Amino acid sequence: MKLKDKVALITGGSSGIGKETSLLLAKEGAKIVVVDINDMNGQAVVAQIKQTGGEAIYVHADVSKAKDAENMVAQAEHSFGKLDILLNNAGIMHSNDNDAVKTSEEVFDLTYNINIKGVFLGCKYGIPALQRAGGGSIINTASFVAKLGAATPQLAYTASKGAVLAMSRELAVSHAREGIRVNALCPGPLRTELLMKFLNTEEKKQRRLVHVPMGRFGEAAEMAKAVLYLASDDSSFVTGTEFMVDGGITAAYVTPE
């Protein structure tokens, strides 16, 4: 087991990347703190982990609220004694997110509060816990759109994920000598509920897929394997990276035949 005796906190842990990562890291020996606002689904993930012999707890938290972020870390340390791995994964892609003219201030603020302030608060309270544990790994979920403009306009989401990259780089540099590694996971287009709700027509799906050299959407389970690498000692000399897991989309200049 790659993560035996490790404790991992995963925000947005009730679905998509968060759910698959919770299940995989538990399989690899980690004790899991599943964090979400969807209590029913979050508790179902915990139950699934326990059914296979793993250890996990569920914590309700709105990651955009400081008290909730502070409490989720406190619950991890209270239940399992420490925190070694922090996956700041919770995020939204609002259906009314569009270009600068059409996106409302409310949608922009909501997206930033969850997608970037949530990462900030996770790190604000998570880093002291990692310091107490003697080091660890932080993975912040960004996106390939942090590197490329989106074919379907989603300005608030794209800007927020660019901010995740910048924040991750600075945190990596600031805490490298403390044994804390910080990397940004940049998924390509995934077959998750989050994206499929946004790409809600076949035309929108094809506008995205036409740019992916591998010709398909990625799967959340594939992202979980990337998180496992970044969370484990296999990546012990890896920090400050923009870890692209995108089916080749950021490498493509023209659409393949």
Residue 184 bridge partners (DSSP):
140, 242
d(CA 210, CA 151): 10
CA angle, corner 21, sides to 18 and 23, nearest 5? 110
What is the DSSP-derived secondary structure letter of residue 80?
H
Q: How far apart are CA 57 and CA 183, in angstroms?
A: 25
CA angle 194, 198, 202 (to 5 degrees): 120
Instruction: Reply yes or no on whether 125 is catalytic.
Output: no
Distance CA 110, CA 69 (A): 17
Give CA angle at 211 (210, 217), nearest 5°: 75
> Active site residue: 112, 125, 157, 229, which one?
157
Question: Catalytic residue positions?
Answer: 157
